[in-house]
Amino acid sequence: MTDRPIRILWTSNIDLPAAAPQLGLAPAPFGGWLTLMTSRLGRLPGFEIAVAMRSESRQFQKVQVEGITYFALPQQKDRFDVAQADVDRVLTEFAPDILHVEGAEMRHARRFLNTWAGPRLLSMQGVLNGYASYELGFLPIFSMLNPLRPRLMLTAMALLFQRQRQFAPRLPSEREAMRLANHIMGRTLWDRAQAKALSPQARYHHCSRILRDEFYTSSWAGTACEPFSIFVGNGASPRKGAHVAVKALAQLLSDFPQATLYMAGQDPRKLPWQSPKRHVGYPVYLLDLIRKLGVEENVRFTGVLNARQMVDRMARSHVCLMASIIENSPNTLGEAMILGVPTVSAYAGGAPSMAGDEVEALFYRPDDPAMLALQIRRIFEDPELAGHLSTAARARALQTHDPDNNLADLIAAYKVIMAEQLEGQS
C-alpha cells in the first residue's frame, strides 16, 4: 500500500443522481449502487474517488460534490459510446491507481479498459453474452411469423430486428471488455461462471451490492398487504418474463378472482400513438396476451417508480415475483427479500445464490407458468408459510446487502489489486 490516498476512477453508464443537478440535468431514478458505494468510499481516509459518466450533457463537464469528482462525458450519437479524446482527458487528468469499470456491456467500458494500462477492475453489471440465448424469453418466435396473423408477425419481426440490430452488435464489445480486465468483480455463482468463461485470465473478487437506503428502513407486514396482489419489478422485454407471469395469473383467477398483477414500468396503452412500441414489439405481444387470456382487469402497470414508490408498492404486495428468464444478480429479488415480502423466483442465473428454495423463496422453472401459479398459490393459501419465508428472507438479505460488509469486501479487493501492482513494480 502507498502512503498517499489510493485514486479510484469509476465509470458509469448514466449520470449519477448526486452530480446531475450541478450538471444541469434531471436526476435519474437509477444508479443507487454506484451512488451509495462511491459516497461511502469518498468519506474514508486513504481514498480519492472520481466517476467518469457517459452523460446526457452536451459538453464535457467536471464538477465536485461532497469530495467526489464527477466527469460528464457526452455520449455519442449511438448512445453507447463516448469520445476517445474525453477518455484520454479524464485518465490523464485524474491518473487513477485503479480503473474500476461498472458494467462491460457499453462500448465506452471497452474504450476505458483499452486505454488504461494500469490495474483494471470490471464489475459485472449485466452479462449480455450470458443472456444472449434467453433474450427472446422462450417466445415462439418462428410460429409467430404467420402471415395470416399480421400483427403477431410484425411483433416477431420487430423482436428479431431488435435482437440483431441493437442487442447482438454489443456482444463482441462486451467480450473484448471482459478480456481487457485483469480483475473481475461479481456477486453470484453465475457471475463467477461467466467471468471464468469470458475472462479466464482475470482474478475474481466477490462483492455484493448495497441497496438503496429506503429498503433498509421498511418491512413487509402480512396484515397490511393487499390480499392476492403480485408485484413484478420489470416487464419491458421478453427476457424479464412478464408473459410467463400473465399466464400464471390466468391460472390463479378461478380460485382467486381478485388476484392482481402489478407490473413496474410504463403502461404500453398510454404510449403516444406515434411511438413504434404502441404498434409492434414486446409490449404489443404482452397486451395481446393479456386480452387473449381475459385478465385485463387484473393487470396494472405502475409507471416508473422511484425508490420510495418501489418500497411502498412492494411492501403492500402479498407476493413479489422475480420472473426473469435469466438474470445475473436480480436487484428486485434482493429488495423484496430485505423488505421481507414473500417471494417467488425463477430458478435462473444468480438467483439461487441469493435465496434458498423453500427457505427464503419459492423457485420455479422460468418457462413454467403452471409451477409459478402453484408457488404463488401456496403463499396465498398459507399465511404461516408466507411468514416463514418473510422472516428468513429478510434475515439473509440483511447479511447479503450489509453496507459495512460490502464496503469491506470492496476495500479488500482494492488492497489485493494494489498489492499485486506494487509487487509487479518491485
Q: What is the pLDDT along the chain (426 residues), one digit of tens a residue?
A: 557 899 999 999 999 988 999 999 888 766 667 888 888 888 899 999 999 999 999 999 999 999 999 999 999 877 779 999 999 999 999 999 999 999 998 889 999 999 999 999 999 988 999 999 999 999 999 999 999 898 899 999 999 999 999 899 999 999 999 999 999 999 999 999 999 999 999 999 999 999 988 999 999 998 999 999 999 999 999 999 999 999 999 999 999 999 999 999 988 888 888 777 777 889 999 999 999 999 999 999 999 998 899 999 999 999 999 999 999 999 999 999 999 999 999 999 999 999 999 999 999 999 999 999 999 999 999 999 999 999 999 999 999 999 999 999 999 999 999 999 887 775
Residues 49 and 127 both lie in one domain: yes
**Looking at residue 29, what is its pLDDT?**
66
- Cα distance between residue 160 and residue 168, in whole Å: 10
Other beta carbons less than 10 A from residue 174's beta carbon:
23
- Cα distance between residue 263 and residue 234, in whole Å: 6
Residues 370 and 414 both lie in one domain: no
**Looking at residue 65, what is its pLDDT?**
92
pTM: 0.92
Residue 161 lies in a domain: no
**Looking at residue 279, what is its pLDDT?**
79
The answer to whether 322 and 397 have CB atoms below 8 angstroms apart is no
Residues 82 and 230 both lie in one domain: no
Residue 153 lies in a domain: no
**Looking at residue 30, what is its pLDDT?**
67
Residues 63 and 194 both lie in one domain: yes
The parent domain of residue 233 ranges over 213-400
Q: Residue 175: which CATH number?
A: 3.40.50.2000
- Cα distance between residue 32 and residue 176, in whole Å: 27
Q: What radius of gyration do the chain's Cα atoms show? A: 22
In the β-sheet with 317-322, what is the strand arrangement from edge to edge?
299-301, 260-263, 226-232, 317-322, 343-346, 362-364
Residues 394 and 311 both lie in one domain: yes
Residues 123 and 240 both lie in one domain: no
Residue 142 lies in a domain: no
Residue 282 lies in a domain: yes
Residues 222 and 73 both lie in one domain: no
User: Which grid cell sits at 179?
Assistant: 478480456
Residue 146 lies in a domain: no
The number of domains in the chain is 2
Residue 132 lies in a domain: yes
